[in-house]
DNA sequence: AATATTTATCGTAATATTGCAATATAGTTT
DNA sequence: AAACTATATTGCAATATTACGATAAATATT
């Protein structure tokens, strides 16, 4: 098939999976790390930094934006992309909850 | 193409992407949540809980194990799968670092 | 030993993702 | 307005993922 049966799972499970999936590519991780490194946050910059074509990077940026991992606002000719801190806080609290719940369990392996 | 050009990125970027990718499917999120919910951690249990076929679940478990998100040990007839807390700690510290670095930046959007 | 139970693997079909060249769009500058 | 710059979209080829039936392998039970 190839299509994941998302309707079998809860909204929350699908939402967290979408976030993780968006982070599940080295180019997108590299984009995020570059956004953090530079002080401004234009996009053409990224094209010179990451060895992928402009359309490919544009596509990755679109995916990150769809997942609300980054925010983009038009800044004249170029676009200002930057980290969406709310989404990362959401991811952090999800991961934290897993760790906490796991610690409360008696481990069996 | 379809193949991600992982050699263009750093080992660290690829490693975190592999972890995130493994978490990027609702079935795998559901598996993790189920592992946390139950006290024991056998696998056949999961087949009854998640509406996917046994081979599909086995495949998802394999991916989670490959990414070191869960650990599995043979327990007689069945297998004891459980959360790998080290990996989740690793993910947490990566996300935390992103949040911290982002807070230190002067935001522009 | 025969049967049942549990998990893994193989083969395969359907769909999704990745990547890029070509092209489009939209703002900027001259 | 023409030329330039920055980003997005389209179309397409290559590869990856998802899912499952059939089957295998390995232990447990009778």
Q: What is the mean pLDDT of residues A11-33?
A: 97
Decide: B72 and B80 in contact? Cβ < 8 Å: yes
Give me the CA B53–C1' D30 separation in Å, rounded: 28
Contact of B42 with chain A, judged by CB distance below 8 Å, is answered with: no
- Predicted local confidence at residue B44, as pLDDT: 74
- Taking 70 as the threshold, does the pLDDT of residue A63 lie above it? yes
Q: How far apart are CA B26 and CA B2, in angstroms?
A: 22
At A109, the pLDDT band (50, 70, 90 cuts) reads low
User: What are the counts of helices (DSSP H) followed by strands (DSSP E) for chain A?
Assistant: 5, 2
Structural domains in chain A plus CATH codes: 19-97 (1.10.10.10)
**Could you tell me which of A93, A94, A91 has the C-alpha nearest to residue A23?**
A91
Beta bridge partners of B75: B78
How high is the mean pLDDT of chain A? 90
Q: What is the mean pLDDT of residues A37-49?
A: 79
- Taking 90 as the threshold, does the pLDDT of residue B85 lie above it? yes
Q: What is the nearest nucleotide to B56, using C1' and CA? A: D19
Report how far apart, in Å, the C-alpha atoms of B4 and of each of A34, A46, A82 are.
Answer: 18, 17, 23
Smallest CA–CA separation between B45 and chain A, in Å? 15
At B76, the pLDDT band (50, 70, 90 cuts) reads confident
At B106, the pLDDT band (50, 70, 90 cuts) reads low
* Residue of least CA–C1' distance to D14: B1
């Amino acid at each position: 098939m190839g299509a994941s049966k998302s309707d079998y799972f809860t909204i929350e499970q699908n939402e967290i999976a979408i976030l993780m999936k968006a982070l599940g590519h080295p180019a997108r991780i590299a984009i995020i790390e570059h956004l953090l490194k530079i002080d401004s946050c234009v996009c053409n910059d990224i094209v010179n930094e990451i060895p992928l074509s402009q359309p490919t990077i544009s596509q990755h940026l679109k995916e990150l934006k769809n997942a609300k991992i980054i925010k983009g606002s038009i800044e004249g000719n170029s676009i200002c992309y930057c980290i969406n801190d709310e989404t990362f806080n959401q991811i952090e609290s999800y991961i934290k909850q897993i760790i906490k719940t796991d610690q409360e369990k008696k481990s069996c392996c």
